[in-house]
Structure 1
């Protein structure tokens, strides 16, 4: 997989100045552009206002603290395949499948050898450090061992060029993986905390977390719960030869995430850290999906974590739902460099565009998922946020690995050094802010010698004085071609500045741009640009009175700082949530709330796409009371937009838009054992039978959650048998009265609910 093969242990590839200048010389020059297209950018500072998380401007493995200070990187992750087997005591790890399953030191510098040094250095530099916690159960015992000795296993398909005894673990037929590695050849046990009988040399999470906790400083104590466990059976197949199953990925997370919280009470735990589109919905083991009622992996896993947390006594085990996002590409065969650049710039639509049909056969085909609507359209960020909001409310969403820097060796195309990558990166940063992503980190940190480094800097430190893009996202639409022009807007400086990012991805045409700003009166502006004429520095190109027109050069980033005035609303409010998923013919409830300010808001109008109906059930929102919107889905699955208008107590009107993903019709739960009457203190049997209907799932292997208003159940979560039956026994309370038992089916199949009413006499 792309996400796996990109991760070599040398985390930074430093291009020479001659290589960079040679690649850039092939790019179109904005100074030579004579043709132009007309684009209108419409900004409304009172539409779709919401905070931009400052943690979206992150990177993996920057070289040093100076990089953070210069780029303004806000979120720095220690992750990747090597982190899964890192030993915090001896600073060693395994390169796993990335390099002949060989143990080695974690990094070339002290910053990436000692995890304590990393956390403290990053925090002192002004960014939030993110540490990855291994969950495989083994960490490297030294810097020299390897798993597939030729002396032990015989001839192999590939041999380490630096060690003739170190094979790649594939038989000489280059088709059959070797098995039979004893993990103790390379590793020692990694356990949560010491106990009697532990193997000699064991390493402990409790000691590590205790050592790390005071080093995070004023930043959140961010922990990734391992890395891409859905592909452990490939990346780490020497010690984990079988594909990671659904239950394993649930159970190891719950065990270690809960333990971690006891060792560091401030821990912010991130999971499942899934690698790629196919695995979002299938996990690593296709057969295992069938064993779990045919439910897509991500919804299944999140559902299981949510119910385990509800059933437990320690609260949340998951704080941030994390995944990796490498847009799936078509086959590069026959592509020219110009075509590669164009693809790199339009494929960012994968992250947000409800009309972008994937160009990859990985996504654009019918069998990845049978449960999701519009399955050939990634709509990746809103789709995953809708899934999360519908299952585990209050869970943030992060993307701790992403990249659109494509490689094509056939035409010597290295995306890291292409100016197109800078434009695409800027597009992604803007998307993450608009689409409410909580945290994100690019794989890897862009080389400061390349334009891509400037794409981060123009958001975070465009003038060298650490002034940055605004912190409140606002609507900034345009009438240009989405593959050729992007626009993002935000409010900053206490509502006295609008920041606009304009990205012209057209290699040939400048954009003659008209700027229409509603709700804000601009009086002056500054304009900063990154162009092919000056590809490694951000230039202040103008400063003066406000003008509503600007020519945006071909292949350029333009940051406009518009200073002026506006009347701020008395309260900020949110749809709560703005994206969710509902089964066909089903209902969802939104609970609009005040997020800041002391005013009240009255929702005055609702519009929506055909296919859903949104009713303004409770229109008034105050700091202490929520509103209510009732969403009724029609019979047709799809992606539907809705917009709500609200006026605050000072007569300022805002609009908020959101998305409803309508899936298949819900499964059903049939009851056996309802309306029983029995002596108090006795036991009765209840059965809920899952009927998959048109949900796209199957009857067997689903989890049904039972709760009772009184009495005692023999189980809370019950797995359905092959006929869909989930059976529990209820011991009636010791006193007479009515007992209500609720059975809930999985969210991935529409969350059917059945209620039993029993009587103790």
Structure 2
């Protein structure tokens, strides 16, 4: 028997509806999930050229620049992305290039390669599936090719990007919030964008670029919400890209930490510098992926168990993700404390990329449900999953459980309340009060791979009797049971193995 306690009088705080966002959701997905925000992000977005529609894949695919394909949701950029997002009544988050380079195309929108075999000779790997002329920039002897940055890219400036921002204003609707993101994971530019930024970004360079781009966007759109620094956490928030690059090649060398940040970690230093410059950033954002391949499709039993417990990285100060990361993240409370201390207290905090993998398996679904519950309980301001899970997948349904469990906009509550379970690695629980009808919603996630869970939910600071609606996701399918009564402030139920159950409690006299 697992005893769960829900207390409607304790730990009360609003749950931001913006935590239920996605990256690159279609209009239909956004509608089904009632997703409030849709992000255009990732490595290709940080070098998108709004004039030609060109993108560049960087080291993800042979440093090729290529035109956008409007038939592909992941290639919806600019006005097209805004339009499909508006069609679902959601707000857009748009990555604005910050590195100083964007993609370019050849005559007649032809693809270009940063490491042409004709120009630079044979290379260790080439694009055998498409542009066979494109290499990976590494010679047969293993040496790195130092290319001409203009081969497949072109210089860019904040003023040029501000022109794009102004062009997007004509489509803004009344009441719509427009979020603009400052680049994408700059501490990895030397890896992802070696063709144009082979040296890791210095702390001082990152500061200058964020301030310049934020100022240009605010001038172009005074109502804009600026989001940054879009770093990957935790490593990208500790050291500059330049120090990360040196550490990977020379061990412990961290000259930027010594010369530029005065011994401080990168993000708190950046926050203090931003504060000294005024209020350039409206929302402080990072990315988070558990670092033991949880975001893959691996559903071996050891991986499923690891996926179950690795959500602790979002909140548990005693949880250590992997040995090579030097800190325990406790990401959300740590980020909240850092922003309150080093920037402006109460500034919204966001995780604009995250993923726990296994989208088509119930283990991925239970992890996703756990993550969304944690976001609400821990007071995160905004989150966008990378990317929207496939329609009809268990993970898609897990997201739907929070925002549209009945297909009629039925949702998890708006005010988080206390919920406790003995072992969140096996059974986790989250609870909230719904403002519209004052129902209490309790989400219970049975993460156990093979065992059903016999649970008792004790309801405190709410009526002793009432009715309960039960909605369940099990074996990849959603189901709803007829309402039943509860008495003496206790709900008893048996939850299937690897399942998500939402109890909607209507107390008599509540």
How does the TM-score come out when normalised to structure 1? Answer: 0.61
Structure 2: how far apart are the matches of 1:85 and 1:150? 23
Q: Matches of residues 2-13 of structure 1 in structure 2 within 5 Å?
A: none
Question: Which residue of 2 is the match for residue 192 of structure 1?
Answer: 158
Return the match for 1:294 from 255, 258, 263. 263
Q: Secondary structure at the match of 2:480?
A: strand
Q: Secondary structure at the match of 1:389?
A: helix
Return the match for 1:205 from 142, 154, 161. 161
| Contact 1:53–1:471 (CA under 8 A) maintained in structure 2 | yes
How many correspondences in the alignment? 484
Question: Which residue of 2 is the match for residue 264 of structure 1?
Answer: 221
Q: CA deviation at 1:403?
A: 0.6
Question: Which residue of 2 is the match for residue 620 of structure 1?
Answer: none
Question: Which residue of 2 is the match for residue 512 of structure 1?
Answer: 454
CA offsets, 1:458-505, max 9 Å, x none? 1011000011111111111112x2211110001003462001100000
Q: CA distance change for structure 1 residues 379 and 98 in 2, over 3 Å: closer, same or farther?
A: same
Q: Secondary structure at the match of 1:125?
A: coil
Q: CA deviation at 1:243?
A: 0.3
Question: Which residue of 1 is the match for residue 504 of structure 2?
Answer: 561
**Which one is further off, 453-462 or 153-162?**
153-162
Question: Which residue of 1 is the match for residue 441 of structure 2?
Answer: 499
Q: CA deviation at 1:76?
A: 0.8
Q: Secondary structure at the match of 1:285?
A: helix
Q: CA deviation at 1:72?
A: 1.8
| Contact 2:439–2:507 (CA under 8 A) maintained in structure 1 | yes
Greater Rg by CA: 1
Q: Does 1:400 align with 2:400?
A: no
Question: Which residue of 1 is the match for residue 239 of structure 2?
Answer: 282
Q: CA deviation at 1:113?
A: 3.8
CA offsets, 1:482-532, max 9 Å, x none? 211110001003462001100000122222211112222151110000012
Question: Which residue of 1 is the match for residue 189 of structure 2?
Answer: 232
Question: Which residue of 2 is the match for residue 539 of structure 1?
Answer: 479
| Contact 1:48–1:475 (CA under 8 A) maintained in structure 2 | yes
Structure 2: how far apart are the matches of 1:529 and 1:420? 15
Q: CA deviation at 1:115?
A: 0.9
Question: Which residue of 1 is the match for residue 275 of structure 2?
Answer: 306
| Contact 1:348–1:427 (CA under 8 A) maintained in structure 2 | yes
**Could you say which structure has the greater relative contact order, defined with CA pairs below 8 angstroms and 6 or more residues apart?**
2
Q: CA distance change for structure 1 residues 80 and 107 in 2, over 3 Å: closer, same or farther?
A: farther
Return the match for 1:153 from 106, 120, 124. 120
| Contact 2:185–2:236 (CA under 8 A) maintained in structure 1 | no
Structure 2: how far apart are the matches of 1:451 and 1:48? 30
Structure 1: how far apart are the matches of 2:481 and 2:60? 45
Q: Secondary structure at the match of 1:234?
A: helix
Return the match for 2:137 from 169, 177, 197. 169
Question: Which residue of 1 is the match for residue 250 of structure 2?
Answer: none
Structure 1: how far apart are the matches of 2:333 and 2:144? 38
Q: CA deviation at 1:566?
A: 7.5
Q: Secondary structure at the match of 1:416?
A: coil
Q: CA deviation at 1:266?
A: 0.8
| Contact 2:11–2:418 (CA under 8 A) maintained in structure 1 | yes
Structure 2: how far apart are the matches of 1:346 and 1:110? 34
Structure 2: how far apart are the matches of 1:157 and 1:114? 32
Q: CA deviation at 1:565?
A: 6.1
Q: Does 1:552 align with 2:503?
A: no
| Contact 1:520–1:565 (CA under 8 A) maintained in structure 2 | no
Structure 1 gaps of 5+ residues are 1-37, 194-203, 310-315, 369-374, 406-414, 568-761
Q: CA distance change for structure 1 residues 122 and 48 in 2, over 3 Å: closer, same or farther?
A: same
Q: CA deviation at 1:229?
A: 1.0
Return the match for 1:87 from 27, 49, 68. 49
The CA RMSD over aligned residues, in Å, is: 2.0
Structure 1: how far apart are the matches of 2:360 and 2:434? 32
Question: Which residue of 1 is the match for residue 9 of structure 2?
Answer: 46
Question: Which residue of 2 is the match for residue 138 of structure 1?
Answer: 101
Q: CA deviation at 1:539?
A: 0.7
Q: CA deviation at 1:114?
A: 4.3
CA offsets, 1:609-648, max 9 Å, x none? xxxxxxxxxxxxxxxxxxxxxxxxxxxxxxxxxxxxxxxx
Q: Does 1:524 align with 2:467?
A: yes
Return the match for 1:73 from 35, 48, 72. 35
Q: CA distance change for structure 1 residues 330 and 460 in 2, over 3 Å: closer, same or farther?
A: closer
Q: Does 1:343 align with 2:285?
A: no
Q: CA distance change for structure 1 residues 188 and 285 in 2, over 3 Å: closer, same or farther?
A: closer
Structure 2 gaps of 5+ residues are 244-253
Question: Which residue of 2 is the match for residue 471 of structure 1?
Answer: 414
Structure 2: how far apart are the matches of 1:330 and 1:166? 29
Q: Matches of residues 721-760 of structure 1 in structure 2 within 5 Å?
A: none
| Contact 1:86–1:106 (CA under 8 A) maintained in structure 2 | no
Structure 1: how far apart are the matches of 2:509 and 2:301? 43
Structure 1: how far apart are the matches of 2:162 and 2:324? 41
| Contact 1:120–1:216 (CA under 8 A) maintained in structure 2 | no
CA offsets, 1:332-357, max 9 Å, x none? 9xx98111111111111111123323
